[in-house]
Copies of this chain bind each other. A is one copy, B any other.
Amino acid sequence: MGDGSERRDQIIVIARRLIAARGYSATTVRDIADEAGILSGSLYHHFASKEAVLQEILHGFQHDTLSAFERIAASGGSARERLDQLIEHAFLTIEQRPDDVRIYQNETGFLMTQPGFEFLADGAARIEELWLDQIMEGQETGVFRDTIDPRLAFRFIRDTVWSTVFWFRPGGSHTAASMSENYLDLLHHGMLTVEG
């Protein structure tokens, strides 16, 4: 258990969609098994528990996201460019893996303290570190205004970006690119005109 068979993958795909739509606790093992065309008990041939399915979804998503963030943080360019890239990557992730993001946003709060999900807190801390580095470097180099508590700034930005997953619908009037553009504009220059 842990290697990826076809059924395993199929179950993960189904579970991801269902859990994103209904929430983890409202999604039953039977729901998942039904869609996979097997009996609910048979699911335990592939996963040790319902929780293990969730764990795998979250762990995979966190791993991918964190990897991308690490890569961006280690890349060249200014702090401002790197912060922009972090934000752009987040918007892109929301467009490409909305179910993962939704699950992460919905279930992570409660789960963080549960045994077996310690990696969530670790990952969140590492992400905060990576983003914060850019903000603080930007403030130190005089690119970012330093009147704002950098920790607050990070959380404001993080919450704004990830929350869009709950209402952003690709195919509507916006794309990940236009969302990034709008948000970065607002974040960079604020709402007020020069005269305002």
Contact = CB atoms under 8 A, between A and B. Distances in A.
Interface of A: 22-23, 25-26, 80, 109-110, 138, 142-145, 147-149, 152-153, 155-156, 159-160, 163-164, 166-167, 174, 179, 182-183, 185-193, 195-196
Contacts of A26: 25, 110
Chain A contact residues: helix, strand, loop or mixed: helix
A192 B152 CA distance: 16
A38 B135 CA distance: 53
Contacts of A156: 160, 164, 182-183, 186
Given A156-B183, A159-B164, A183-B156, A144 B193 contact: yes
A192 B188 contact: yes
A143 B182 CA distance: 18
Contacts of A80: 192, 196
The 5 closest A-B pairs by CB, nearest first: A190-B190, A159-B163, A143-B196, A189-B190, A160-B160
